[in-house]
Amino acid sequence: MIKISKRAELPRNKEAIIRAVAIILSIICAGLVILILGFNPITVFSEIVKGALGTEMRIQQTVIKAVPLLITSLGILVAFKMKFWNIGGEGQIMMGAFGAALVALNAPATLPAPLMLLAMAFSAMVFGGIWAFIPAFFKGKFGTNETIFTLMMNYIAIKWVTYLQYGPWKDPGSQGFPKIANFELNAVLPKLFGVHIGWIIALILVAFVYFFINHTKKGYEITVVGESTETARYAGMNINSIIITSMLISGGLCGLTGMIQASAIERTLTSSLSGGYGFTAIITTWLGRLSAPIILAVCVAFAILLQGGAYLQIAMSVPASVADMIQGIILFFVLGSEFFLQYKVSFAGKNAVKEVA
């Protein structure tokens, strides 16, 4: 008979062992799948690392992939800390990009770059925050399901940008191709060490979110609401206000991701700009255990997988599905380890109970 019980507390050394075992098993399992498909596992894994970190240019591409994932994860962290399940990162990124494009396409081309970029960032955070405020308002006012609400709003945001791309904002000079005009140079983020300065913004935000959650009154209130709304209510906290504030911050950070992607990567507004980062960030936030420094490490690891997988297709003619499969297997084991971190599994016999994990 198998007995599953909730863990009271797990020592850090045992937690580290469970995570390490999960990673080792994921690599072994992925290696077996690669072997069955006719490839050399050692070569494949070495090419993934080489593709992500092998040259200066590849490192730059890895950093470029890590930046939007990290900032979006930090935004989702703020909502998840309060147990508000914000699945709307994609839509908030898109609306942030829309807000940035609204400024970039209408502000004078003579406006100094610092002012232009600050205005774009502010507009992006406002629009991203508003897009997150809507489900927060309905959650606080009517008790709606935020998971479904935020998920559905993703598609509204994407279709809105698609409408602009194919309609009112379509560039007349694009020769019929559904494309929005490119931004002027003063609306493009500058580079530092070969990568746009979004990576500096991301690192600053890691420190900011860590300090905000752990060392401010508002961060403390968000944590208390997440742990127990009844305790927060008993302590006299305004729960609705806390929900709205945290979601404005969450959506604002996701919106900032949209501005960075629109300005530094696409240099325009497109309906594919979010690139799935809003959904992937849900996984990285959860794996990072809602801790900003850990999320930084997890996002870098994910970026290595993404960049290495892309290189794998070119270097070894490995189909894209194989690279995705490797990522999926690793995710499956790492996420599965969360079960053993939260629960204790044991075999219950007639005379004794033997713990297995």
Long-range contacts at 206-212 (CB < 8 A, ≥ 24 apart): 206/70, 206/74, 206/292, 206/293, 206/295, 206/296, 207/292, 209/74, 209/77, 209/78, 209/253, 209/292, 210/291, 210/292, 210/293, 212/78, 212/249
Longest CA pairwise span in the chain (Å)? 82
> If you average pLDDT over every residue of the chain, what do you get?
89
Distance between terminal CA atoms of the chain? Answer: 15
Find all residues with CB under 8 Å of 356, minimum gap 6, and list them. 345, 346, 347
Q: Looking at per-residue confidence, does 327 or 79 come out higher?
A: 79
319-341 tens-digit pLDDT: 777 777 877 888 888 878 877 77
Is residue 276 domain-shared with residue 335, that is, in the same domain? no
Task: Please give the C-alpha separations between residue 231 and each of 139, 227, 234, 290, in angstroms, as whole numbers.
Answer: 19, 8, 5, 21
Residue 245, pLDDT score: 92
83 and 1 housed in the same domain? no
Tell me the C-alpha to C-alpha distance, in Å, between residue 78 and each of 16, 205, 311, 347.
25, 12, 33, 39
pTM: 0.90
CB half-sphere exposure, 117, CA atoms < 13 A: 18
Same domain, residue pair 30 and 80:
no
| 196, 118: one domain | yes
Report residue 351's pLDDT band, with 50, 70 and 90 as the boundaries: low
For residue 51, tell me if it sits in a domain: no
**Is residue 46 assigned to a domain?**
no
Based on the domain organization, do 218 and 348 belong to the same domain? no
Q: Is residue 153 part of a domain?
A: yes
Q: Measure the CA–CA gap between 197 and 192, rounded to whole angstroms.
A: 6
Beta bridge partners of 348: 353
Distance CA 90, CA 337 (A): 27
Q: Which of 270, 287, 304 is the last residue of a domain?
A: 287
pLDDT digits (tens, 9 = 90+) for 268-325: 999 999 988 999 999 899 888 899 999 999 999 989 988 888 888 887 777 777 777 8
* 100, 132, 210, 279 from 75: Cα distances, Å: 18, 11, 12, 12
Domain boundary among 237, 263, 287: 287
Domain count for the chain, please give it: 2
Is residue 154 in a domain?
A: yes
User: What is the C-alpha separation between 292 and 294, in angstroms, rounded?
Assistant: 6
Radius of gyration for the alpha carbons in the chain, expressed in angstroms and rounded: 22
Checking phi first, is residue 38 left (phi over 0); if not, alpha (psi -120 to 50) or beta?
left
- Do residues 246 and 331 share a domain? no
| Whether 218 and 335 share a structural domain | no
Q: 191: which DSSP letter? A: E
What ranges make up the beta strands (E) of 78-203?
191-192, 195-196
Contact 7, 343 (CB under 8 A): yes
Q: Is residue 305 domain-resident?
A: no
Q: What is the pLDDT of residues 175-222, one digit of tens each?
A: 878 999 999 999 999 999 999 999 999 999 999 999 999 999 999 999
As given in the structure block, the two tokens for residue 266 are: 């696409």
Q: CA 320, CA 84: separation in Å to the nearest integer?
A: 34
Q: pLDDT tens for residues 141-180?
A: 888 899 999 999 999 999 999 999 999 999 888 887 899 9
**4 three-state secondary structure:** strand
My answer on whether 201 and 165 are in the same domain is: yes
Domain that holds residue 175: 65-287
For residue 311, being part of any structural domain is answered with no
- Alpha-carbon distance 289 to 144, whole Å? 26
Same structural domain for residues 74 and 22? no
CA distance 326 to 33: 8
Q: Is residue 312 part of a domain?
A: no
- What are the DSSP calls for 31-59, one per residue? HHHHHHTT--HHHHHHHHHHHHHSSHHHH
The tens digit of pLDDT for each residue in 232-259 reads 888 888 988 999 999 999 999 999 999 9
117 and 176 both lie in a single domain: yes
Highest mean pLDDT among 31-35, 53-57, 72-76: 72-76
Residue at 59 is within a domain: no
- Same domain as 249, residue 125: yes
Instruction: Give me the pLDDT at residue 114, please.
Output: 95
Are residue 144 and residue 216 in the same domain, yes or no? yes
